[in-house]
Amino acid sequence: MDEKIYIEEKQEIDIHLPKLYRVYLLNDDYTTMDFVVHILMTIFDKPKTEATAIMLHVHRHGKGLAGIYPKEIAETKVHEVHTLARINGFPLKCIIERDD
């Protein structure tokens, strides 16, 4: 009877890692703190404590990181923030920077 032998086959796999983008919230004098916390919880999926810490960082330092995503997701988040802010009468702005 034939015996079976087992070999290890090496495979080359192309892994596509998307470029990542940082989404920052910017401070202003008119958007309420509660609204910014709401944005961080609903659009950036932050728990309330972290959302509050990020909001206060933006308030004190002018800019704060809301999240890091592939380009299309980052752009969608920015659009959602600006749309929600406009609907609610706030000038809240957010920007994207390449994460490298």
Q: If binding is defined by CB under 6 A, does position 36 make contact with ligand TYC?
A: yes
Q: If binding is defined by CB under 6 A, does position 25 make contact with ligand TYC?
A: yes
Which pairs from 66-72 meet CB under 8 Å and 24+ separation?
66/23, 66/24, 66/25, 66/40, 66/94, 67/22, 67/23, 68/20, 68/21, 68/22, 68/23, 68/99, 69/20, 69/21, 69/23, 70/18, 70/19, 70/20, 70/21, 71/18, 71/19, 71/21, 71/96
Q: Which of 43, 55, 74, 81: binder of ligand TYC (CB under 6 A)?
A: 55
Q: If binding is defined by CB under 6 A, does position 52 make contact with ligand TYC?
A: no
Pick between residue 19 and residue 33 the one whose CB is nearest to ligand TYC.
33
Pick between residue 73 and residue 93 the one whose CB is nearest to ligand TYC.
93
Quote the least distance from Cβ 13 to ligand TYC, whole Å.
41
Q: If binding is defined by CB under 6 A, does position 95 make contact with ligand TYC?
A: no
Q: Which residues bind ligand TYC (CB under 6 A)?
A: 25-29, 31-33, 36, 55, 58-59, 92
